[in-house]
Amino acid sequence: MAFSRAEAFAPATVANLGVGFDIMGLALQGMGDRAIVEFQDASEIVISEIQGDGGKLPLDPALNIAAVSARALLDHVDEPRGLKIRLIKGLPLSSGLGSSAASAVVSVVALNKLLGEPFAREQLLPFCLEGEALVSGYHADNVAPCLLGGIILVAGTTVDAIQPLPIPERFHLALVTPDVPVPTDSARKILPKHITLKTMIHQTGAVAKLVDALHRGDLGALGAAIENDRVVEPARACLMPMHKEARAAAKQAGAAAVFIGGAGPTLCAICESAAIAKATASAMQAVYQAANTACIAQATGVDRCGAVLLNAD
């Protein structure tokens, strides 16, 4: 059956999980982006509307992540028709919640449906990366979990480098996103250019412990591994307002670990129950409210599905 219009949803994500810089990410339940993609006879791609971005995202298809990703897929299959894309942003920009990845993924998943689904979901990864590269470079720590769901180990940019990891049974999350944008390029520039061999050994050991803890479902060991970063989070903490205070509040509420979501400023806490996650979200929110800093806080979990089609006609 041929379709001329498809709508898709792509979830929020958080990358790194503390020590897993650029090689780990997970998808989040709840928030995400939607896109409505339609064929048009003209060969160009048109961004007809963007909602929820405050007018900050470009309508120029050469500069828009959703359009660049869709163009990569159109060119790959030699499709002569163009597209009209309507993007509904449910994710704040520069928040550490994978906003750029969601824009890339949601347009490609919808377009794949219009094309008759010639590609399995994981095969869409290279096209999504073309758009993500506009702002974050060629790494899939957000794109892969957004596309596929779950907790993902990302050892490269090809399909065979993507490995799903176990999701512990008692794995809940509390998030707080202060209203202080942290662009990814700024967060990358602040990172150290060189580290010692001793630090490298420490980091790889912590990543190994993180993966082991996920397989065993040991939240205590998982939290210890996540918070054992000696490279990325120490460098970026200065970009996160009230970082120490929010971490302390989360721990007092019962969180097993707190880490910076992606480039930040979102802080993520791992909790062993929905009740603790809710209390932790409230505790972190109170820290920012006391400092007169606007923020969004929520309790959530891992989205196991990733991007989904909503409808097609």
Active site residues: 132, 184
CA–CA separation, 227 and 128 (whole Å): 30
**Contact predicate 220/270, CB 8 Å:** no
Phi, psi of 274 (to 5 degrees): -65, -35
What are the two backbone dihedrals, phi and then psi, of residue 306, each rounded to the nearest 5 degrees? 80, -155
On whether the CB atoms of residues 27 and 13 are closer than 8 A, the answer is: yes
| Phi, psi for residue 16 in degrees, rounded to 5 | 85, -45
What does the alpha-carbon distance between residue 239 and residue 235 come to, in Å, rounded to a whole number?
Answer: 9
Local structure of 148: helix, strand or coil:
helix
Both tokens of 137, joined, read 């470079």
**CA 262, CA 145: separation in Å to the nearest integer?**
13
* Cα-based angle 303, 182, 234 (whole degrees, multiple of 5): 90
DSSP-derived secondary structure for 80-130: --EEEEEEE--S-TTSSS-HHHHHHHHHHHHHHHHTT--S-GGGGHHHHHH
